[in-house]
Structure 1
Amino acid sequence: MCDEDSNREAEAYYRRHGMTRRAFGKTGLGAALAMMLPWSARAQEVKESKVVVETPDGEADAYFVHPAKGRHPAVIMWPDIFGMRPAFRQMGRRLAESGYAVLVVNPYYRSIHAQLIPDEARVIDPDLRKAVWPRAKALAATLSPATCVTDGRAFVRFLDRQPSVDTGKRIGVVGYCMTGSYTFRLAADMPKRIGAGASFHGVGLVTDGEDSPHRLVPEMKAGFLIAIAQNDDERDPGAKTALRTAFDSAELPAEIEVYEGTLHGWCPPDSAVYNREQAERAWGRLQALLARNLS
């Protein structure tokens, strides 16, 4: 889970395997991320911009990127607890190069329009993580299942007004860490519009609460990918079984897997526990999910 235990495990992993600040400094952030995210020979030319999305609670700043030509299925990408930053914009761009109109959002827009992690940060190493963790936790606490849904509806409205979006195709939702659960909530709230959901090292997918995300599965009409960190599974081994039961009972397709050798947060390329091999495999499964459910 995204907690103090995860922080300690991330620090230990980074000390053993992480790219050093000095190495990042030599390459530069853009080059470092580019090395970590493989380039596709079939990458499409894209257009990107900073946008503002009107929501019931104000104006959400976001990054919108899409192929330069044509109309395409849309994808909403929610970042992890550390919020909007270059790593997620890079992932959004990479997904757009595969043929999707991608909106990467700032979930903390009610509190900050600046980034929690500055652009010049090369990696969220243990020192940076320790410095921003209290603020990240406080910002995360300002969000709720209700704000997830009201924001998600606003993001869908924004996308459906864009000329680059094919409104005849359903939308995908992707979430990391705390926002893995957001994919469940929006898919259940807008079953006719959301066709695919993906949760990467998502937290709180199975709880004892009546509003637990896994209890929302019967209300969905979306295919799902749930990629679980090995250490998250070790702490809550019953979660994957409860998720499997929920999707099977609803007769919805879901790929649920524990990724061997991974720690919570292994997917974003600026993470202290980034696992390139497993992150690439998870990315490939995301591409397959979207191709099956949004085309």
Structure 2
Amino acid sequence: MCDKDSEQDIQAYLSSSSRLNRRDFNKLLALGTLAAGFPQFASAADVVESNVFVATPDGTADCYFVRPASGKHPSVLMWPDIKGLRPAFKAMAKRLASAGYAVLVLNPFYRDVKGLALPAGVEFPSEEAWKILRGYRAKLTPDAVVRDARACFAYLDKQPEVSKKRGAAAMGYCMSGSFVMRAAAAMPERIKAIASFHGGGLATSEPDSPHLTIPQSTAAVLHAIAENDDKKDPQMKQLLREAYSRAKLPAEIEVYAGTLHGWCPPDSKAYNDVQAEKAWSRTFALFDKALNQHSK
């Protein structure tokens, strides 16, 4: 998962590589030239986007909601990584919406801050950034995560663009990889697919390990694991496979070769476009089968 060791791995990788490892996503976005650097995020479909507020038991969460301009669609809740809600995740949500989904991206740190997670002038990674983010993260207990999930899906189910008759999905990155598992276990009647990307701590020896919630879930699963995360915790994937097998749930659990923690968001220093595109293709396949085909 995201920690100082992961950042050191990324820095070592960037130092030893002569190829371009990080394109300036936010700069391209600001210049209006995103399609030139990231054509996969240039949505051709007609979508509607808005910044919205969702009432939760713990306060009011600021979120980004994007959906197709017409029709009713399956809903997807997307949790960002530890760096929070930002332009890269809005672009990712927009890409998903263009494929026919109503997508809500939650600011996971709304209890402490609205908008960007870090104040101006504080760069990630740094000691100051870690101190701030760890303080935010400490409030995201399993119970808090489930409360947020219920509130977000309650919001989504009230939207005219959402089909409540069709299954819903959840996506998580880094710290939020475990969040989707807890949400699926808490809402088995609603959440029919979950996908996590470079998620950490998904299966541990702790009594509250996320993988212990699997028997309560009915969701089909994709866990896309970073190669360097797997080297640090090679048992996680096996524990996950055994748990899903016992629960008789379809689960695609794969270590993505050559990837570093954080390789999916396009603004990450570890972004791996080839493997990120593979993860997108597997996500689309999972959602199509779990949310679309079963309802036809």
The TM-score with structure 1 as length reference comes to 0.91
The equivalent of 2:185 in structure 1 is: 188
Alignment deviations for residues 210-264 of structure 1 (CA, whole Å, 9 cap, x no partner): 2211111111111000000000000111111110001111110000000000000
Q: Distance in 2 between matches of 1:66 and 1:244?
A: 33
Mark the CA change 1:28 to 1:50 in structure 2 (over 3 Å): closer, same or farther: closer
Q: Equivalents in 1 of 2:252, 2:156: separation in Å?
A: 26
Structure 1 partner of 2:2? 2
Per the alignment, in what secondary structure is the counterpart of residue 82 of structure 2? Answer: coil
Secondary structure of 1:116 counterpart: coil
Give the Å deviation of 1:141. Answer: 1.6
Structure 1 residues 39, 142: CA separation in 2 closer, same or farther (over 3 Å shift)?
closer
Output the CA distance in 2 between the equivalents of 1:46 and 1:55: 26
Checking the alignment, whether the CA contact within 8 Å between 2:215 and 2:247 is kept in structure 1 is yes
CA contact (8 A) 1:232 1:264 kept: yes
Letter paired with 1:19? R
Percentage identity across paired residues of the two chains: 49
Counterpart-to-counterpart distance in 2, 1:25 and 1:93: 18
Question: 1:12 and 1:242 mapped to 2: Cα distance?
Answer: 30
Q: Distance in 2 between matches of 1:96 and 1:256?
A: 24
Equivalent position amino acid for 1:182 in 2: F
Aligned to 1:281: 278
Number of residues paired by the alignment? 288
Could you give the per-residue CA deviations for residues 67-89 of structure 1, whole angstroms, max 9, x where no partner exists? 00000000000000000000000
Partner in structure 2 of residue 35 of structure 1: 37
Does residue 227 (structure 1) correspond to residue 224 (structure 2)? The answer is yes
Match in the other structure for 1:19: 22
Instruction: Give me the CA root mean square deviation.
Output: 2.2
Which residue does the alignment assign to 2:138?
Answer: 141
- Cross-structure match for 1:256: 253
After superposition, residues 86-235 of structure 1 pair within 5 angstroms as 86-117=87-118, 128-130=124-126, 132-235=129-232
Aligned equivalents of 1:227, 1:145: Cα separation in 2:
21
**C-alpha displacement at 1:129, in angstroms?**
2.2
Change in CA separation of 1:128 and 1:72 when aligned onto 2, cut-off 3 Å: same
- Residue 24 of structure 1 deviates from its aligned partner by 7.0
Instruction: Provide the rounded CA distance (Å) in 2 between the counterparts of 1:128 and 1:55.
Output: 28
Q: Is the 8 A contact 1:259 1:278 kept in 2?
A: yes
Residue pair 2:22, 2:267 contacting (<8 A) in 1 also: no
- Look up the SS of the partner of 1:204 in the other structure: coil
| 1:290 lines up with 2:287 in the alignment | yes
Structure 1 residues 255-264 or 203-212, which shifts more? 203-212
> Is the partner of 1:44 in helix, strand or coil?
coil
Alignment partner of 1:247 is 2:248: no
What letter is aligned with 2:132?
Answer: R
Structure 1 residues 34 and 60: alpha-carbon distance in aligned structure 2, compared to 1, 3 A threshold: farther
Structure 2: stretches of 5+ with no match in the other structure: none
Match status 1:65 vs 2:66: yes
In 2, distance between residues paired with 1:33 and 1:215? 42
Please give the residue correspondences for 1:39-54 in structure 2 after superposition, counting only pairs within 5 Å: 43-54=44-55
* Partner SS state of residue 38, structure 1: helix
Please say which of residues 54-63 and 5-14 is displaced more in the overlay: 5-14
One-letter code aligned to 1:247: Y
